[in-house]
Structure 1
Amino acid sequence: MTESVVRLRANAKINIGLHITGKRSDGYHLMETVYYPILDLYDDVSLELAGEGCAVEMLNLSEPLPLEANLCYRAWKLLSDAVGGLLPGVRICVNKRIPAGAGLGGGSSNAAAVLRGLRTLWGIEMDDVALADLGEKLGADVPFFIYNRPLYACGIGTEFSEIDLGLEGFRIEVRTLAVHSPTPEAFMGLDLSGLPKDLPLRDLLALPVAEWRERVRNDLEGPVFARLPEVAACKASFYADGAVYAAMTGSGSACFAVFAQT
């Protein structure tokens, strides 16, 4: 162990495109998406060696969360169980800035930060691939936050490969709303039979960004917009402001837009 305190920024993500391609017999939906890191929106995560076990403090959390349901605690337990042996206790503190229920991956990002921080604190020899494989047990997008670079994902969102989006000359803006959009409700309202057919998402994203508006979609927008019209209004406001492309991220409620640099 080389450090007693580790501080990290657990940044947000957006989904550029979210095409639902089917549903497995176990209920999981098949999809294509691109995870893209948003580095200027982040939670502060600190981990400190202290006592025994794990203590978690969440600052600016919108609603209290039982310890056993907290992804930071679950990440600690997952890694400590995987490593085994007598490990020093840890105090984790998270200062929240990423809103919950926004499709920005705040909880998963926190979990990934805890896994990376514990690897440092405990001096564990585990590369990113092994850490990401472990993190998948906490959530489909936790592995993305271990790598924290643009990645194409398919299957149930856990099969990753590199992608170059060619966004040089563009900037991305994210807008959050004071409404919560639960992921299960978004998927429950999805009509698979009514989804459009098109080229694979990777091929569509190779098109000029100006063509994304008509081709690159988020299939969860329909059910979310029907329930939360303010999310639809948020997306529309971006186009009113001159965006080249705009969409809801994940299951909402946040939206983002791509603007040409001026």
Structure 2
Amino acid sequence: MIKEKAFAKLNLNLHILANPSYKKKTGYFQIHFINSELNLYDELTFEAQPKKISLICNVKELQTKENLVYRAASLLKKEIGNSQLGVKITLLKKIPVCAGLGGGSSDAAMTLRSLLQLWNVKKKATMNKICSSLGSDVFYSMRGGLCEITGIGNKVKSIQHKPFSLWAVLVTPAVQKPSTSWMYSHLHIDKIGNHVYKLRNMKKALLNGDKNIFLNSIYNDFDTTIEHLFPEVRSIKNSLHKNGALAEYVAGSGLTVVGIYDTEKLALMAFNNLQVQYKTLVWTNIKS
């Protein structure tokens, strides 16, 4: 039996580049991100069983063959080519679903890593092919930590940095986005890819340990579009700001809103205050 934690991801910089030729060639937008992990995680347990792949989840609507965990296990088994392999997977879901925090991708990446061990795979499987089938965020989740991501999300490298201590309060509104692809389809091309200098500034701030420049460099190209489509996001940002957040922005393609705090005490105070107003919220630290 293998027990593991799959950590949520947090985009610290998210830039979508308006490069028509790249999109025509690949079918995807070219992106440039800085990602980190949050100390917020789903828990997974893997138990070997003959031939069959089964999934048990505390969120019943996620207990399907369409779940990225089940798909990851199935794709890996197919790639290995051994019909005798099987696994019983138990997923305890704690990361908000469809919220821009990469929970599904993190679960899938942990499934791949764990099954390589559980099934004692000696022949290296074609992980790039499997990750591409599961979604571009899986590439980052296979590595984790503080990373720079380029291409369509498939090029991931660690970033040198000084350790830092920051906390986050995450508020997920009741309304859900239709899908990530829907969010991409509603972007305004003339309003994206214009602030990549903030990513360069953030890399310097991380290397030098400059918290002020770091905070001023946080950016997400989805922010403007999401605020326009979902007015409650602006309201949540205002609530976080009134409760002492140093920066407020949307996580990934939404719709979770992130408030950044300097200390655990301030984050916990904001969390307690906002519990009266919002149903789905979490406070945690950003892993450095």
Same fold judged by TM-score > 0.5? yes
Contact 2:79–2:126 (CA under 8 A) maintained in structure 1: no
Query: Could you say which residue in structure 2 is the equivalent of 1:12?
Result: 8
Question: Residue 223 of structure 2: which of 221, 236, 250 is its match?
Answer: 221
User: Which aligned pairs between 1:69-80 and structure 2 lie closer than 5 A?
Assistant: 69-80=66-77
Question: CA 1:254/1:199 → structure 2, altered by over 3 Å: closer, same or farther?
Answer: closer
1:75-108 Cα offsets, whole Å, 9 max, x none, are 1121112222344321111111112110011111
Query: Could you say which residue in structure 1 is the equivalent of 2:146?
Result: 150
Cα offset, 1:9, TM superposition: 1.1
Contact 1:209–1:245 (CA under 8 A) maintained in structure 2: no
Stretch moving more, 157-166 or 47-56? 157-166
Q: Which runs of 4+ in 1 moved over 3 A?
A: 63-66, 129-134, 164-167, 198-202, 211-216
Matches of 2:92 and 2:15 in 1, distance apart?
Answer: 33
Matches of 1:198 and 1:16 in 2, distance apart?
Answer: 13
Query: Could you say which residue in structure 2 is the equivalent of 1:32?
Result: 32
Contact 1:76–1:115 (CA under 8 A) maintained in structure 2: yes
Matches of 1:259 and 1:37 in 2, distance apart?
Answer: 16
Cα offset, 1:51, TM superposition: 3.1
Contact 2:55–2:64 (CA under 8 A) maintained in structure 1: no
Question: CA 1:199/1:176 → structure 2, altered by over 3 Å: closer, same or farther?
Answer: closer
Matches of 1:239 and 1:171 in 2, distance apart?
Answer: 14
Does residue 183 of the first structure (1) align with residue 180 of the second (2)?
yes
Query: Could you say which residue in structure 2 is the equivalent of 1:46?
Result: 45
Contact 1:57–1:93 (CA under 8 A) maintained in structure 2: yes
Query: Could you say which residue in structure 2 is the equivalent of 1:99?
Result: 96
Structure-2-length-normalised TM-score: 0.79
Unpaired segments of 5 or more residues in structure 1? Answer: none
Matches of 2:224 and 2:242 in 1, distance apart?
Answer: 20
Query: Could you say which residue in structure 1 is the equivalent of 2:284?
Result: none
Matches of 2:221 and 2:67 in 1, distance apart?
Answer: 29
| Percent identity for Structure 1 against Structure 2 | 27
Question: CA 1:226/1:213 → structure 2, altered by over 3 Å: closer, same or farther?
Answer: farther
Question: CA 1:212/1:246 → structure 2, altered by over 3 Å: closer, same or farther?
Answer: farther
Matches of 2:166 and 2:78 in 1, distance apart?
Answer: 44
Matches of 1:36 and 1:102 in 2, distance apart?
Answer: 16
Contact 2:54–2:88 (CA under 8 A) maintained in structure 1: yes
Matches of 1:74 and 1:259 in 2, distance apart?
Answer: 37
Query: Could you say which residue in structure 2 is the equivalent of 1:160?
Result: 156
Does residue 118 of the first structure (1) align with residue 120 of the second (2)?
no
Matches of 1:93 and 1:108 in 2, distance apart?
Answer: 16
Say what the alpha-carbon RMSD is for the aligned residues.
2.5
Matches of 2:168 and 2:162 in 1, distance apart?
Answer: 13
Q: Which amino acid aligns with 2:16?
A: I
Cα offset, 1:211, TM superposition: 3.9
Structure-1-length-normalised TM-score: 0.86
SS of the equivalent of 2:136 reads coil
1:129-183 Cα offsets, whole Å, 9 max, x none, are 9646642431111122221211111121221122145462432333333221221
Question: CA 1:111/1:258 → structure 2, altered by over 3 Å: closer, same or farther?
Answer: same
SS of the equivalent of 1:137 reads helix
Q: Which amino acid aligns with 1:194?
A: K
Query: Could you say which residue in structure 2 is the equivalent of 1:57?
Result: 56
Aligned residues: 254
Matches of 1:165 and 1:232 in 2, distance apart?
Answer: 31
Matches of 1:227 and 1:199 in 2, distance apart?
Answer: 23
Contact 2:139–2:153 (CA under 8 A) maintained in structure 1: no
Cα offset, 1:34, TM superposition: 1.3
Query: Could you say which residue in structure 1 is the equivalent of 2:285?
Result: none
Matches of 2:168 and 2:217 in 1, distance apart?
Answer: 18
